[in-house]
Amino acid sequence: MSNRKYYVLVLIFMFSVFYVSGQESEIAAQWSFENSADETISGAEFEITGLAKFVPGVKGSAIKFDGFSSFVEGTFFPEEEEGQEEEEEEEGVGLPRALSIETWVSLGAYPWNWAPILTIGKYKVTGFYFGIDSRGCPGFHVSDATSVWHECNAPVNPETKAGMELHQWYHVVGTYDPREGLAIYVNGELAGTYNDFEFDYGIAYSNLDEGFRMGMNRVELPPSDPIRDWATYPSRYSLDGIVDELKIHNMALDADEVKKLYTSTKPENQPLFEARNFPGVESSGRFGANYTTLEYYPEWDALWPSGEHLDVVVQFDDMPIKTMFWRGTRYSACWVTENGKWMADQSRETGSNWFLGEGSRDDMPTGCIEHMSDVQCRSSRVSIIESNEARVVVNWRYLQMDVKFRQLDLPNNTGFGEWGNELYYIYPDGAGVRKVLPGRGGWQETILLNEPGTRPEDNIELDACKLLNLEGESKSYTWEHGYPEFDLEDAVIQVINLKSEYKPFLIFREGGGFEVFNLEVRPEYSHFPWWNHWPVAQVISDGRSAFAPDRAAHSSLSWGDPNGEAALYGMTNQGDEHVLALARSWNNPPALNADGSSFKSLGYDYTQRAYMLESGDEERALEFTLEGSTRSPVYNPAFVIANWQGGDVQLFVNGKEVKEGKGFRQGLEYQVDGSADLVVWVEISHENPVQFKLSN
């Protein structure tokens, strides 16, 4: 007898109905997951791969798959003896002609595509598949002896547009009988049936030596709901959920039997899912930047093997906001409000093979070439360049790549590809300049992030933004009835109406402008575009529409032309006057008049939001005037004095001393040659000339 035939006979025996002392045993296999994945009737060992763990279950413990790496696999079959002749499995040899699979399951997020609770055979070719789809609907699928794939699936809830709710226990049963067909039950109720079988041959099996698989498909599937299916690839993922009391019955249970099984068990524990809130840190009460490791939720955090100090956080002593450079966003800067609403932006972005006209997607970079594709932060990195009392400077550098980590060999055929390099000059008033160094591709797109459990409408008002120009004219725009059209002339200021006290803002140079992001919205799900391929996701797709708030997601409001190599970002609760004064002072900085001083004025650097000066060899005092006006107000100016010869300085404004503190900050930054730059920031607002004096 061949080894493969022996496997079949073993399974037939295990699934057979037998009687002991007149009692029928209908459980052919069972996994209780009592701190083990082994099958409890036969004692067969099943191996756990990846980052699965045991948690409190319906009864005792259960197995929790992490959504990324984990699965369980094993077989009842004995090892093939050495030297035993292997013969081909006879075509048409089947396993049980009728069976039911029963389990308790709870989801942490909906699968990216179908994910198995239990399967055997080749996906959509042979065997059976008992799993959950991307909408959270359970299904039971089989292949008959004609190798036709038959599916019985529970429907979505028309109100939620999803299946099972998250973080709740569900009792799910799939049944099959050659004559009665397939049925799926959820919490004791019939959810779906299927009986479109031409023959009653039963289930066709193959690959029995591979055994059963739980939690992860044997073949990778692409995420559902792609924006560009040609830039979405088969991806590795697992069930994001908890499974307990998994059983195979050797008969097709009827509705009364399923109802009895459901009502006979009352879950002893609530499903254990830690909160999936975006990272936060308790305010330190000081202005500055720090390396840290931001925590998201345990299963996602466990993916990262890189140790501590992975992320950078900038805090402000006078405001409850933060600027986060987090690996979950591939380190793009995010402005975070007092109540945890996140505002983000794009990196430099180009594209390739947009309409499959340039070659095969398997042979070349395909789709969006950007930082979002670097799901493992292979090249994206962030560094603190400067952190003192007056300002913070952070560097973000990244390789623009597609979702398969491929780069375009541009612009000069060196093999180094397209890189983005950015500097963030952040000041104590919550405003910072994003300086984008020379490269290829646009880089501005106003993006809000949606943490799990929230939709875009939970994070932003339908009157989502306001535009202003430097003349002080303003206009608000709503998404309530569809996309608006930006029509305020010369608008270079955008204020984003998040559901928070502090509102993010964005300022361009004169001549720049904004356009509404008017693509890829699905009104049945949200007023705004809504995707969950970024942030934090690890699937291979450069665009995946979200339909439920189960995962971290993002939405775009607009994109813009900054008309320069920098834009000014920040948050405020002070109203339009603050943002308008800041925009005017940055676009039209007051002239600096330092007549009679040996200091050399190098002009105003808008990419740093600072006046640049250079001191003489020994001079330790500097006097100058900023020629403020209504069009060019003096507003929270910063000064960088190279080759500073002294230590700390005193500040006098219009002849009066200003004590060092929140309104006057200074810091020394030493260069590699030993020279020092003095950085000074002053909190002040004037529309008239202002005299400054800095001295030791």
Same domain? 253 vs 337:
no
pLDDT at 384: 98
Helix (H) or strand (E) holding 464: strand 460-469
Q: Answer whether residue 7 shows pLDDT above 50.
A: no
Are 551 and 683 within one domain?
Answer: no
Predicted pLDDT of residue 646: 81
In a domain, 507, yes or no: yes
pLDDT(519) > 50: yes
Specify whether 111 is located in the same domain as 212.
Answer: yes
Quick check: 485 pLDDT over 90?
A: yes
> What pLDDT shows up at residue 95?
57
Contact yes or no for 643/690 (Cβ under 8 A): no
pLDDT of res. 249 = 95
Q: Evaluate whether residue 353 is within a structural domain.
A: yes
pLDDT in tens, 558-585: 999 999 999 999 999 998 999 999 999 9
The more confident residue out of 88 and 445 is 445
Shared domain for 601 and 507, answered yes or no, is no
Q: What confidence category does residue 201 fall into, taking pLDDT thresholds of 50, 70 and 90?
A: confident
Cis omega before residue 411 (within 30°)? yes
Strand, coil or helix: what is 255? helix
Q: Same domain, yes or no, for 335 and 222?
A: no
Indicate whether 269 belongs to any domain: no
In this structure, the number of other CB atoms found within 10 A of the CB of residue 285 comes to 9
**Least confidently predicted of 70-74, 85-89, 338-342, 499-503:** 85-89
Q: Does 268 reside within a domain? A: no
Of 547, 582, 617, at which residue does a domain stop?
Answer: 582
Q: Is residue 165 in a domain?
A: yes
Tokens 């541009």 locate to 410
pLDDT of the residue at 615: 87
* Over residues 319-348, mean pLDDT: 98
pLDDT, average across residues 242-258: 97
Q: Which of 215, 248, 263 is the last residue of a domain?
A: 263
Q: Does 595 lie in the same domain as 455?
A: no
pLDDT average, residue stretch 270-296:
96
Q: What is the pLDDT of residues 384-411, one digit of tens each?
A: 999 999 999 999 999 999 999 999 988 8
What tokens were used for 556? 């775009």
Residue 6 has pLDDT above 70, yes or no: no
Query: Is residue 281 situated within a structural domain?
Result: no
What's the pLDDT score for residue 356? 66
Same domain, yes or no: 495 and 592: no
In angstroms, the CA 450 to CA 457 distance is: 9
Residue 275 in any domain: the answer is no
Among 456, 326, 379, CA closest to 335: 326
**Does the pLDDT of residue 202 top 80, yes or no?**
yes
Are 357 and 502 within one domain? yes
* Nearest Cα residue to 611 out of 630, 644, 586, 633: 586
Domain boundary among 263, 280, 296: 263
Give the CATH number of the domain where residue 662 resides.
2.60.40
Q: Do 613 and 576 belong together in one domain? A: no
Domain shared by 195 and 121, yes or no = yes
Question: Are residue 594 and residue 559 in the same domain, yes or no?
Answer: no
Q: What pLDDT score was predicted for residue 83?
A: 43
Under the banding of pLDDT at 50, 70 and 90, the label for residue 76 is: confident
Amino acid 79: pLDDT: 45
| Residue 160 is assigned to a structural domain of this protein | yes
Q: Are residues 72 and 199 in the same domain?
A: yes
Based on the structure, what is the number of domains in the chain? 3
pLDDT of residue 77: 52
The yes-or-no verdict on residue 80 having pLDDT over 50 is no
Worst-scoring range by mean pLDDT, 14-28, 40-54, 492-506? 14-28
Residue type at 377 in one-letter notation:
C
Among 88-92, 246-250, 629-633, the minimum mean pLDDT is found in 88-92
Average pLDDT over the chain reads: 92
Task: Tell me the CATH number at 442.
Answer: 2.70.98
Place of tokens 């009157």: 463
Residue 61 domain boundaries: 3-263
